[in-house]
């Protein structure tokens, strides 16, 4: 149980860092622009890692799901979020003539989103890292 709490706290902090990066640095949101600090956040983000929020989202949601399921259903947690995030990322590359087949909220997400190969790699990488973490935590229970 203590291991689960540590992992939950780590994942919450990691998820918060992803949200902060997304809000303060990503051009599509740029909350920092509205706060009047965008000049400073651009200097701090001396190199762009726009794939970071995708990595954080995938890793965090896999871990949150696994913990919510009492550290069972490892493959469900991994595959559910891998498939979901992959489909939403690929949907952003979909030609606009196909968007009418989706509910408006999803079509709008696809229409206004930007597909990036780096985000796909982040989803794959985060899935693998989450798998390693989950296996490591399962082995700690055995000892």
Count of domains forming the chain: 1
Q: What is the pLDDT of residues 128-138, one digit of tens each?
A: 999 999 999 87
What CA–CA distances, in Å, run from 70 to 5, 89, 90, 134? 11, 28, 31, 12
Residues 20/41, Cβ–Cβ less than 8 Å: no
Q: How far apart are CA 105 and CA 128, in angstroms?
A: 30
Q: What is the pLDDT of residues 95-106, one digit of tens each?
A: 999 999 999 999
Residue 33 pLDDT exceeds 80: no
Whole-prediction pTM: 0.77
Q: What pLDDT shows up at residue 133?
A: 94
* Domain housing 121: 2-142
Q: How far apart are CA 1 and CA 11, in angstroms?
A: 15
């Amino acid at each position: 149980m203590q291991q689960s709490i540590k992992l939950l706290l780590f994942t919450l902090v990691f998820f918060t860092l992803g949200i902060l990066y997304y809000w303060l640095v990503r051009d599509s949101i740029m909350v920092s622009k509205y706060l009047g600090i965008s000049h400073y956040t651009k200097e701090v983000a001396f190199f762009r890692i726009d794939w970071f929020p995708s990595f954080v989202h995938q890793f965090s949601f896999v871990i949150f799901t696994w913990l919510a399921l009492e550290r069972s259903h490892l493959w469900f947690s991994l595959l559910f979020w891998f498939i979901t995030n992959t489909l939403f990322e690929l949907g952003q590359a979909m030609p606009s003539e196909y968007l009418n087949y989706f509910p408006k909220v999803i079509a709008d997400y696809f229409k206004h989103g930007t597909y990036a190969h780096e985000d796909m790699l982040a989803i794959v990488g985060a899935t693998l890292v989450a798998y390693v973490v989950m296996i490591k935590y399962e082995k700690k229970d055995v000892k």
